[in-house]
C-alpha cells in the first residue's frame, strides 16, 4: 500500500488547523509589537540578576536626581 502523504484527517481538519495557525501567528505579532513599544518607550527592562547594579538602586535621600 502506497504511503498516503495527505491523510483524510488533514483535509477534514484543514479549517481547524488553519484557524489555530492564524491565531498563533497573530499572537506572535502581538507579542512582537508589544516588545517593540515597551523597548522604544524606555520602560525599565532590567531585573535583578544576582549582582548589584548601581542604576537600579534607589537614590539616597537628599541626593540630586
Q: CA-to-CA distance for 44 and 54, rounded, in angstroms?
A: 14
Interaction of residue 18 with other proteins, rule CB under 8 A: yes
Instruction: Choose the binding region for other proteins from 8-16, 48-56, 57-65 (rule: CB under 8 A).
Output: 8-16
Pair 55, 46: CB distance under 8 Å: yes
End-to-end CA distance of the chain: 77
Please count the residues of this chain forming the interface with other proteins, following the rule CB under 8 A: 13
Q: Enumerate residues 24-53 that contact other proteins by CB under 8 A.
A: 30, 33-34, 36-37, 41
> Which residues form the interface with other proteins (CB under 8 A)?
12-13, 15-16, 18-20, 30, 33-34, 36-37, 41
Amino acid at each position: 500500500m502506497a504511503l498516503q502523504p495527505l491523510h483524510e484527517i488533514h483535509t477534514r481538519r484543514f479549517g481547524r488547523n488553519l484557524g489555530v495557525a492564524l491565531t498563533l501567528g497573530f499572537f506572535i505579532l502581538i507579542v512582537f509589537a508589544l516588545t517593540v513599544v515597551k523597548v522604544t518607550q524606555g520602560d525599565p527592562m532590567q531585573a535583578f540578576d544576582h549582582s548589584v547594579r548601581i542604576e537600579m538602586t534607589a537614590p539616597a535621600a537628599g541626593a540630586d536626581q
